[in-house]
């Protein structure tokens, strides 16, 4: 799916049909509803959009204004957009491509509102693609990237749909209008949890693409003299270039492994939920929200680092990097804005911390919160040992979660309402949640490399990469590790010198490490990142195809420049 997203350059009109509309049917429809719609969707006999966000509300789903009011006399729901701000806004494919949409709307039955639920709504005729009666549709206009996708708007004027069009796997409305509660009110959000998980893979793939481009190009590009009179070296020989690129390369691997974990965790927890066990839902939500936020943010920054590492050519669309950046920027906002998602993870961590304080033994990805000792014992640590590095990340995260939670408690003890205390500690909370996710990614990376069985040398190079990733994280966030004396200045110095050693160690394997991502030129779509390395010939060919080069003298010359020059010359 991630590859598909990227191949399509951030999506076309049908992307959301595959990544959101069809999975929503899979996850939220009853077996009977699946029989009706799933095959149609899978065979693309209908094309769907996922219509949740409105002009006025994206983040705050409970604030959505579109209504679905049940009319028992006809056994129909009436879908309505009561205000301008209730206009559905942003859904991919909604503008021009889709003829169906799953519409998130406030469910009203027997005069009571039961919150947001999903409804299947036909929006265009299957005969002539005209909007259905009462439906107004359009495209929202050009965006930073993803312009192949018709992100759209939709308004509903009392559009009637059969009762059976409410996706009723979890919550139900009976024919007489009785509302039947789902096992958890958050199950209506399950498709978002799934999509956030897939964004982790998309982030990994985007960062893998950017590093493939930048590392390959850095072997083709030669610049300056390392020593006077010597041939110009490949720019990848410069330590600063390695310091820019290798942490991004390592992060791409780390995120790839994190996405494997996420996929496996999603499968196992949703499997348990199918059997009625909802106990894993909170952790699944916290992990997917935090990982989505962390990996997409690091990826967007990392792609820009890769762009700058390619000098001027990186700024050209020929490099493929601007498009990758635009795609990653979308991932930071879509499917839950990153700050908001990280705060969801923080919310879970604060709860877990309180449980741990009350003597509960924590399990899963938060188990370390109760295992880590608050008072550190300083000492000369072996900063090249992966176990030491993982423990340092866990200590940092546990300390920051404790600090944020205690700070909040302190504010409440001073009389602040919980919500106000939350808001005034939210920067601390975000940082703590980021540290938690970072620590998870490091641990998962370390555990994954230990399972490599193919080849001793592959395990060795991945271990170096994992060390590099961890050491880079420690040196970048040194203050967090030093704050309570868990690491000393000497440890940080040792981490820096091991990091330098790792840059040199990874250098000979750098090209193999990016080739291993196996990203075909057709997927990369980058002149700089070509597998055959023939960058300059193709850069020239690419430029020749610029629309401005279609004619030798551009029409703007006759229209503007010629008369302008003529009048200037006349003045002389
Ligand atoms: C390079 C690659 C190229 C890619 C190109 C780009 C492709 C782009 C594709 C884009 C596709 C995008 C699609 C979309 O964007 S669809 C719309 C997505 N919208 C969102 O994600 C909305 C985000 N908002 C929310 O999810 C919720 O409103 C929010 C979680 C923020 C708050 O929800 P709510 O107000 O109901 O909840 P509370 O804060 O009050 O919390 C109540 C408890 O419920 C828990 N909770 C919340 N959400 C979930 C969930 N999903 N699952 C389980 N539990 C959940 C929450 O933690 C609270 O728990 P506690 O009370 O126990 O603390
Ligand atoms: C490329 C793209 C594709 C999309 N595709 C779809 C789609 O297919 N279907 C669909 O339904 N939607 C889609 N969306 C919409 C997307 O899901 C929302 O834009 C996203 O969830 C963010 O919501 P918002 O726009 O309301 O941001 P806002 O919530 O308005 O965010 C603005 C700022 O407010 C802050 N903020 C908001 N709430 C809080 C809070 N509680 N605490 C702290 N800070 C807060 C945010 O951190 C952010 O800094 C898409 C968006 C994009 C960019």
> Model confidence at 9, in pLDDT bands (50, 70, 90)?
low
What pLDDT is stored for residue 1 in this prediction?
A: 52
Q: What is the pLDDT of residues 187-238, one digit of tens each?
A: 888 889 999 999 999 999 999 999 999 999 999 999 999 999 999 999 999 9
Map tokens 């996710």 to a residue. Answer: 437
Mean pLDDT throughout 416-437?
98
The answer, yes or no, to whether residue 376 has pLDDT greater than 90, is no
- Its pTM surpasses 0.95: yes
Element (H, E) at 449: helix 426-450
What pLDDT is stored for residue 495 in this prediction?
A: 98
What's the rounded Cα separation, in Å, for the pair 100 and 161?
A: 12
What's the rounded Cα separation, in Å, for the pair 441 and 448?
A: 10
Ligand 1 lined by 193 (C-beta under 6 Å):
yes
> Model confidence at 10, in pLDDT bands (50, 70, 90)?
low
What pLDDT is stored for residue 31 in this prediction?
A: 97
C-alpha 189 – ligand 1 centre gap (Å): 7
Map tokens 């990848």 to a residue. Answer: 236
Element (H, E) at 570: helix 562-571
> Model confidence at 4, in pLDDT bands (50, 70, 90)?
low
Ligand 2, atom 40, residue with closest C-alpha:
340
ipTM of the complex: 0.98
C-alpha 118 – ligand 1 centre gap (Å): 14
Ligand 1, atom 49, residue with closest C-alpha:
186
What's the rounded Cα separation, in Å, for the pair 151 and 88?
A: 10
For residues 16 and 92, is the Cβ–Cβ distance under 8 A?
Answer: yes
What pLDDT is stored for residue 127 in this prediction?
A: 98
Indicate the average pLDDT of the chain: 96
Q: List, chain by chain if needed, residues with CB within 6 Å of any ligand 2 atom.
A: 16, 20, 50-53, 57-59, 90-92, 146, 151, 330, 333-337, 339-340, 343
> Model confidence at 185, in pLDDT bands (50, 70, 90)?
confident
What pLDDT is stored for residue 204 in this prediction?
A: 98
The answer, yes or no, to whether residue 176 has pLDDT greater than 70, is yes
Q: What is the pLDDT of residues 95-126, one digit of tens each?
A: 999 999 999 999 999 999 999 999 999 999 99
> Model confidence at 5, in pLDDT bands (50, 70, 90)?
low
What pLDDT is stored for residue 276 in this prediction?
A: 87
Measured from the CA of 53, which atom of ligand 1 is nearest? Answer: 17
Share of the chain above pLDDT 90, in %: 92
Q: What is the pLDDT of residues 38-54, one digit of tens each?
A: 999 999 999 999 999 99
> Model confidence at 7, in pLDDT bands (50, 70, 90)?
low
C-alpha 14 – ligand 2 centre gap (Å): 21
What's the rounded Cα separation, in Å, for the pair 105 and 68?
A: 6
What pLDDT is stored for residue 429 in this prediction?
A: 98
Mean pLDDT throughout 146-169?
97
What's the rounded Cα separation, in Å, for the pair 366 and 104?
A: 32
What's the rounded Cα separation, in Å, for the pair 492 and 481?
A: 9
For residues 247 and 472, is the Cβ–Cβ distance under 8 A?
Answer: yes
Strands (E), 178-298: 179-180
The pairs formed by 53-58 with CB atoms below 8 angstroms and a separation of 24 or more are 53/88, 53/89, 53/90, 53/91, 54/85, 54/86, 54/87, 54/88, 54/89, 55/84, 55/85, 55/86, 55/87, 55/89, 55/153, 56/83, 56/84, 56/85, 56/86, 57/85, 58/90, 58/337
Could you say which DSSP state residue 360 is in?
A: P
> Model confidence at 6, in pLDDT bands (50, 70, 90)?
low
What pLDDT is stored for residue 380 in this prediction?
A: 79
What pLDDT is stored for residue 43 in this prediction?
A: 97
235 Cβ partners below 8 Å, 6+ apart?
Answer: 218, 221, 222, 223, 241
Q: What is the pLDDT of residues 504-527, one digit of tens each?
A: 999 999 999 999 999 999 999 999
């Amino acid at each position: 799916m991630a590859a598909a997203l990227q191949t399509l350059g951030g999506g076309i009109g049908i992307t959301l049909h595959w990544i959101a509309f069809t999975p929503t049917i899979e996850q939220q429809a009853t077996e009977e509803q699946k029989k009706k719609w799933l095959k149609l969707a899978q065979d693309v006999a209908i094309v769907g959009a996922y219509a949740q966000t409105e002009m006025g509300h994206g983040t705050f789903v409970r604030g959505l204004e579109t209504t679905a009011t049940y009319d028992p006399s006809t056994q129909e729901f009436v879908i309505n957009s009561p205000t301008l701000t209730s206009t559905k806004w942003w859904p991919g494919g909604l503008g021009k491509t889709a003829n169906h949409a799953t519409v998130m709307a406030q469910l009203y039955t027997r005069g009571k509102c039961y919150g947001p639920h999903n409804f299947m709504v036909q929006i265009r005729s299957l005969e002539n693609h005209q909007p259905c009666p009462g439906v107004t549709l359009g495209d929202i206009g050009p965006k930073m990237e993803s312009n192949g996708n018709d992100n759209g708007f939709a308004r509903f004027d009392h559009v009637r749909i059969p009762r059976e069009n409410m996706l009723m796997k979890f919550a139900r409305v009976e024919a007489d209008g009785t509302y039947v509660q789902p096992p958890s009110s958050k199950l209506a959000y399950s498709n978002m949890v799934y999509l956030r998980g897939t964004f982790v893979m998309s982030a990994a793939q985007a960062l893998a693409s950017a590093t493939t481009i930048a590392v390959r190009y850095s072997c083709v590009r030669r610049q300056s003299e390392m020593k006077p009179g010597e041939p110009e070296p490949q720019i990848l020989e410069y330590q600063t270039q390695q310091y820019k690129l290798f942490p991004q390369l390592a992060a791409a691997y780390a995120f790839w492994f994190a996405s494997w974990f996420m996929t496996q965790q999603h499968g196992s927890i949703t499997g348990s939920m199918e059997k009625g066990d909802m106990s894993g839902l909170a952790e699944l939500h916290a992990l997917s929200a935090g990982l989505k936020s962390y990996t997409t943010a690091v990826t967007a920054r990392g792609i820009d680092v890769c762009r700058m590492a390619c000098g001027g050519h990186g700024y050209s669309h020929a490099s493929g990097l601007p498009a990758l950046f635009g795609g990653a920027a979308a991932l930071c906002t879509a499917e839950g804005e990153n700050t908001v998602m990280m705060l969801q993870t923080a919310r879970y961590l604060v709860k877990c911390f309180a449980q741990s304080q009350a003597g509960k033994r924590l399990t899963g990805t938060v188990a370390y919160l109760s295992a880590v000792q608050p008072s550190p014992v300083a000492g000369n640590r072996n900063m090249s040992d992966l176990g030491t590095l993982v423990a340092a990340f866990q200590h940092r995260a546990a300390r920051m979660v404790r600090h944020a939670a205690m700070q909040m408690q302190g504010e409440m003890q001073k009389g602040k309402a919980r919500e106000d205390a939350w808001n005034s500690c939210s920067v601390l909370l975000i940082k703590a949640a980021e540290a938690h996710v970072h620590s998870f990614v490091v641990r998962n990376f370390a555990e994954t490399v230990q399972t490599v069985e193919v080849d001793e040398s592959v395990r060795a190079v991945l271990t170096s990469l994992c060390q590099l990733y961890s050491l880079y994280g420690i040196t970048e966030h040194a203050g967090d590790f030093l704050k309570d004396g868990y690491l000393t200045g000497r440890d940080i110095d040792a981490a820096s010198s091991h990091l330098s050693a790792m840059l040199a160690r990874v250098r000979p394997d750098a090209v193999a490490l990016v080739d291993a991502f196996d990203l075909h030129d057709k997927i990369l779509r980058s002149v700089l990142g070509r597998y055959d390395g023939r960058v300059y010939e193709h850069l020239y060919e690419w430029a020749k195809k610029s629309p401005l080069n279609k004619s030798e003298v551009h029409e703007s010359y006759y229209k503007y420049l010629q008369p302008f020059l003529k009048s200037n010359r006349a003045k002389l």
